[in-house]
Structure 1
Amino acid sequence: MGSFKGHALPGTLFLLVGVWHIWSSLVRYLSNPKSFRVRVWNPVPGFDGKLKYLELYLVAGGAFIDMCIELLYSTHLKFFVNGVLNPHHMNDFEHGGMLLMFFIFGAVGLLSEKTRFLPLPEGVLCLVAAAAFSAEYLLFYFHSTTHKGLEGHYHLLLVLLIGLCVLSIVTGALLPTNFPVDLSSGIAMTLQGLWFYQTAFCLYGPMMPDGCQLKGNQIMCRSSESQIRGELLATFQLFSMVFGVLVAVAAAYGFAASRYGHSDLNSSRVLQDGLD
């Protein structure tokens, strides 16, 4: 069982990174389509290079802080009971392991970019990021906390979005010049962040479906009809979210094209129109 803050915090991180990835992918492609390369992280321009690695610091720092909350604060340092892992905090240990993978990705990215100790190509960094998302996928798929009913449906949809993140990032490592693949990574991360927020508001906030309520550590519905209605509502929410993000990406593409559109891109469009 989770909480509003427990979903809102990772949702914020995924949303910020996802939106930044979408915008950076659009700008890089529209500025020079011929030299476009897939990037698993994107530097922040300007400010004399002081914020260049902000995304990696955000990933590593956010994951580390959240990991400390899960392993130190939530467990009250009671890691073992009778010589075995505390069974009452397996949920926290699993979350900590997932967050450790994202911290490793951020740390490896910083070491690769800022030092000479670990010079990794972009494709390898993509695979490290994919490993972190794979750990997240496995956590939510084989969770020690059994998600059933309405809560289980929300987490099932979350697992699908995480799977899209893994698929798009691995494909980016295999197709390093493919713009749609790179853009898909940002869209998948953005949707995951938004879905964390949607889950927080619907299961632990003011948007609980009619006929269902939070009792203790479980989401209880008055009847099977109420549960089915809640699940259908969740599916519609995800559909609306996907539609809204795609519309926003199309609008961002048009805006970025007006500001950063490269002459080669315009020439190829003119040539295509002539052929048609």
Structure 2
Amino acid sequence: MGTLVGHMAPGVGFVLIGLWHLFNTIRNYAQSPWDFETRPWFPTKAKGKLKYMELYLIMFGSSLSIAAELFICPEKHQPLADDWSIPSEHLNNFEHSSICLFFLLYATVALCASCLRMQVPSGLLHVLAAFAFSQELLLFHLHSADHMGLEGQYHWLLQLVVFVCLCCTLLEITVPHSFLVALIRSMAVFFQGWWFIQTGPCSMDSSIYTNRL
């Protein structure tokens, strides 16, 4: 995630999902404002497996990110040292992978519950999504704890957006008919992706500068 591709790829994913949620949230509210209810994910109008395109995108993106962080990008393509310890230079890889793991878990449970028609408790998927956002918020806070100046400021903006995602996701459990909460959460997901896209070129420039030093 510390490279240009590592920022752009998840950024595009968050932007697409954010726009998809914005579209469906506004459409559902416009069609039936009195019966509006928030949803953790939205199926497509297509029949068959294409109905779960959003969940497939989350699962594919999360799995690809985990593979890139642990087995593609690390030196010698393995995350652990010869003594099975975690090298300090690979700690960020494990941090980013743990974030993706929670999103993968959320999407997998949502897909299984829908395909198998399981009666999951109300709000369970929102809780799993909240766990993913809380993990993301915690690790990005610890990741940027020693950042100063401009870098610290734009990492603070990311934490703010993730915090909004977390709060709105939890609020949707208690106020499932709130259009405003669902709208703000969808916008926060979009802006989280936009943050990654905008900071992608900055990460490339900083890595070049570090190599020159």
Same fold (TM over 0.5): yes
Q: Deviations over 1:9-68 (max 9, x none)?
A: 1101100000000000011111111221110101111x3344211101111111011111
The residue correspondences of 1:265-276 to structure 2 (distance < 5 A) are: none
Residue of structure 2 in register with 1:2 after alignment: 2
- Aligned match of 1:70: 69
Q: Which whole-Å CA distance do the structure 2 matches of 1:61 and 1:48 have between them?
A: 20
Letter in 1 for 2:37: R
Q: Per the alignment, do residues 59 and 213 of structure 1 end up closer, same or farther by CA in structure 2, a change over 3 Å counting?
A: closer
C-alpha distance in structure 2 between counterparts of 1:157 and 1:29, whole Å: 29
Superposed CA RMSD in Å reads 2.3
Q: Is the 8 A contact 1:90 1:144 kept in 2?
A: no
* Alpha-carbon distance between aligned partners in 1 of 2:194 and 2:11, rounded to the nearest angstrom: 6
Match of 1:14 in 2: 14
Contact in 1 for aligned 2:11/2:197 (Cα 8 Å): yes
Counterpart code for 1:25: T
Please say if residues 144 and 152 of structure 2, whose CA atoms lie closer than 8 Å, have aligned partners that are also in contact. no
What do the CA deviations read for 1:164-192 (whole angstroms, capped 9, x no partner)?
10011111111011111111110000011
TM-score by length of 1: 0.71
Of structures 1 and 2, the one scoring higher in RCO (CA 8 A, sep 6+) is 2
Pair 1:185–1:63, CA change in 2 (3 A):
same
Q: Map 1:1-276 onto structure 2 (within 5 A).
A: 2-45=2-45, 47-75=46-74, 76-116=77-117, 118-143=118-143, 146-204=146-204, 214-216=208-210
The answer to whether the 8 A contact 1:40-1:122 is kept is: no
Task: Give the alignment's TM-score, normalised by structure 2.
Answer: 0.90
Does the Cα contact within 8 Å between 1:39 and 1:122 map onto a contact in 2? no
Per-residue CA shift, 1:109-151, capped at 9, x if unaligned?
10111114x5324511111101001111111001288433322
Aligned length: 211
The answer to whether the 8 Å contact 1:151/1:203 transfers is: no
For 1:151-174, what per-residue CA distance to the aligned partner results, in whole angstroms no more than 9, with x for missing partners?
222111111111010011111111
Of Structure 1 and Structure 2, the greater helix share is in 2
Whole-Å Cα distance in 1 between the matches of residues 122 and 59 of structure 2?
Answer: 18
| CA–CA separation in structure 1 for the residues paired with 2:175 and 2:25 | 15
- Flag the structure with higher strand content: 1
2: CA distance, partners of 1:61 / 1:122: 26
| Secondary structure in 2 matching 1:53 | helix
Q: Distance in 2 between matches of 1:213 and 1:83?
A: 27
- CA positional deviation for 1:83: 4.4
Query: Using a 3 Å threshold, how does the CA distance of structure 1 residues 54 and 83 change in structure 2: closer, same or farther?
Result: closer
2:181 alignment partner, SS class: helix
State the secondary structure of the residue aligned to 1:51: helix
SS of 1:40's equivalent in the other structure is coil
Indicate conservation of the 8 Å contact 1:91/1:145, yes or no. no
Contact 2:70 / 2:79 at 8 angstroms: preserved in 1? no
Unaligned segments of structure 1, at least 5 residues: 206-211, 221-276
